[in-house]
Amino acid sequence: MSPSPLAPTTDDVAATARTAGLALSPETAARIAVAITPALQTFAPVTAHLPFDLDPSDFLAAQQSVGAAK
Amino acid sequence: MSPRSLPTDLATLSLTEVAAAIAAKQVSSREATQACLDRTALWEPHLNAFISREDEAALAAADVADAALAKGESTGPLHGVPLAHKDMFYDAGKVCTCGSKIRCDFVPDTTSTALARLKAAGTVRLGTLHMVEFAYGPTGHNVHFGDCHNPWNVAHAPGGSSSGSGAAVAARLTYAALGSDTGGSVRMPAHFCGITGLKTTVGRISRAGAMPLSHSLDTVGVLTRSVEDAALLMSLMAGADPRDPTCIGGPIPDYMAATRGTLAGITIGIPTDFYVEGLDGETGAVLDNTIATLTREGARVVPVTLPDQKQLSAASQVLLSVEAAAFHKPWLLERPQDYGAQVRARIENGFAYAGVTYMEALRWRGPALAAHLAAVAGVDAVLAPVCPSPAPSLAESDVGASLNAEAVIQGITRFTRPVNYLGLPSLVVPAGRASKGLPIGLQFIGRPFAEDVLLRIGAEFQRATDFHLAMPELPA
């Protein structure tokens, strides 16, 4: 069985970091996998249902919306 | 304040009190500055709250302020008031270490807008305050400058990353201090050190010239001895800044007037879950007592069911990790040995998130805030703990770069990070005391740009209680 994509392996972590320009030792990659897995697993249900028409600037719109006032 | 009511130790005045006393020539700037320096000389060996001290320059600046006032020339509402701030607010020509070895001799050529606005109001510079390396940690440890200590119990953590701001304001070494809050860095030291702390709305105060950690989450905040003091600083710093286009324009509320309001017509929401789970007994009791006080003072208290806060925390962690990694990449590649082990490890974490995950965390922020606002419709502020417990000891919270370090850090900050993801303001006020003499603070989480409402609530709470007046005693 292949590992869950929500629980990155040491190899997954090393590969992703390498593409971002950082070479990791296996020990460091293993530590990072432990560190980031809870956040990825908790956030995953959100990412599965994000609507198509979303823009990061929607945050500013929500901040300044009528609904932001009591 | 009449001359006869001045305390023997002028350093124990509040910011608003000392500013008024200097303006009325009841107290000179030199006297106020010397009082802070005298107190710092006693406390600093126990706290390590300062990174740099500029005693002689401060006294010289105080003399200039006094001479100006003698000629009828007042610079502004903080004329001659001595202050020190977290060592991450650039002051042109002055070393700004950011709590790091990497920037130990960094001299900026610009001044942060927040700091410049306080300087324009007449402040005197005392020096710079301790902070966690690059503001990346919640406890107050720092391998380069030594750990900062909690003035209520020096074996305990002061909270971070604005560690020196928390310790120095609590010990009455500076009348107030700037801090920053990206994941709880104003609120944690305010809670741990028993002082008032205001984390501002994203976009309320310019971040120009303040060291970045996460451009989506960073906010400038204040640590003070009272809510009124926080309101005074807000009134001087808030507002648009061409150097920071993310800073919102438009009218600024009258923060000082807000502190004179009552709780009549105010509705406080109490979360039905998450923020009331896993609290130690003393923190839970303080929460109950605070609810009783607010009710007695006229607030309407209602239960609120908030969206999943753990998901907000997770999204916040993604943004913080990736953005910090991007800021630090050149230094991390060129001189990784110059970082402390924990900060280096946390920066490394950010390289392991996929780009798509980061964008999802950015894109969800709008609907997440909209969902929160819908959940708190009709509520002025949500009352919540800052942390499940009072300050941990420095020893037990020194997790370094161990395998469980991130989990421990996430546990300490679990009640603060959702607020950062939503960009909301949050006001921490001292609300009780635990065993070992450690304070307990609670946070009022507000609506976007409604700092004035939080200040109104907090000021009335402080008129009804005296937790904010308690001062730590000098260790033997």
pLDDT, tens only, B353-384: 999 999 999 999 999 999 999 999 999 999 99
Task: Answer yes or no: B71 catalytic.
Answer: no
Residue by residue, DSSP assigns B102-137 as TTTT---SS--HHHHHHHHTT-EEEEEE---GGG--
Which of B94, B75, B91, B81 is CA-nearest to residue B124? B81
Residue B112 carries which side chain, given as an amino acid letter?
Answer: S
ipTM of the complex model: 0.94
Cβ contact, residue pair A63, B318, below 8 Å: no
Alpha-carbon distance of B149 to B165, in angstroms, equals 11
Alpha-carbon distance of B295 to B290, in angstroms, equals 8
Using CB atoms, pick whichever of B317, B332, B370 lies closest to residue A67.
B370
Residue B247 carries which side chain, given as an amino acid letter?
Answer: C
Interface test with A, best of B215, B274, B353, B421 (most A CBs within 10 A): B353
Cβ contact, residue pair B352, A69, below 8 Å: no
Cβ-based contacts under 8 A for chains A and B: 140
Residues recorded for chain A: 70
Three-state SS for A4?
coil
Three-state SS for B63?
helix
Name the catalytic one among B100, B163, B165, B185: B185
What are φ and ψ of residue B270, in 5° steps? Answer: -110, 120
pLDDT, tens only, B168-210: 999 999 999 999 999 999 999 999 999 999 999 999 999 999 9
Using CB atoms, pick whichever of A22, A63, A69 lies closest to residue B351.
A22
Mean pLDDT computed over every residue of chain B: 97
Averaged over B107-130, what is the pLDDT? 98
Contact B327, B88 (CB under 8 A): no
Three-state SS for A54?
coil
Cβ contact, residue pair B363, A56, below 8 Å: yes
Question: A32: nearest CA in chain B?
Answer: B349
pLDDT at B407: 86
Which of B392, B412, B405, B395 is CA-nearest to residue B184? B412
Contact B429, B390 (CB under 8 A): no
Of B225 and B1, more confident: B225
Residue A67 has pLDDT above 70, yes or no: no
Å between A1 CA and nearest CA of chain B: 22
Interface test with B, best of A16, A19, A60 (most B CBs within 10 A): A60
Cβ atoms within 10 A of the Cβ of B285, count? Answer: 14
pLDDT at A1: 40
- The rounded Cα B292 to chain-centroid distance in angstroms is 26
**What does the block give as tokens for A69?**
């006032």
Cβ contact, residue pair A70, B380, below 8 Å: yes
Q: How many angstroms separate the Cα of B467 from the Cα of each of B145, B155, B171, B172, B194?
A: 31, 22, 14, 15, 8
What pLDDT band is residue B394 in, cutting at 50, 70 and 90? very high
Cβ contact, residue pair B401, A63, below 8 Å: no
Residue B4 has pLDDT above 60, yes or no: no
pLDDT at A69: 76
Å between A53 CA and nearest CA of chain B: 9
Cβ contact, residue pair A58, B365, below 8 Å: yes
Task: Answer yes or no: B86 catalytic.
Answer: yes
Alpha-carbon distance of B440 to B58, in angstroms, equals 33
Which of B430, B386, B376 is CA-nearest to residue B412? B386
Residue A2's Cβ-count burial label (10 Å; 0-12, 13-18, 19+) is exposed
When computed from its CA atoms, the radius of gyration of chain A, rounded to whole angstroms, is 17
Task: Answer yes or no: B185 catalytic.
Answer: yes
Whether A8 has its CB under 8 Å from any CB of chain B: the answer is: yes
Residue by residue, DSSP assigns B394-411 as TTTT--TT-TTHHHHHHH
Q: Spell out which residues of chain A touch residue B325, defining contact as CB-CB under 8 Å.
A: 20
Alpha-carbon distance of B77 to B55, in angstroms, equals 23
Three-class SS string for B283-352?
A: HHHHHHHHHHHHHHCCCEEEEECCCCHHHHHHHHHHHHHHHHHHHHHHHHHHCHHHCCHHHHHHHHHHHH
Cβ contact, residue pair B447, A24, below 8 Å: no
Cβ contact, residue pair B318, A57, below 8 Å: no
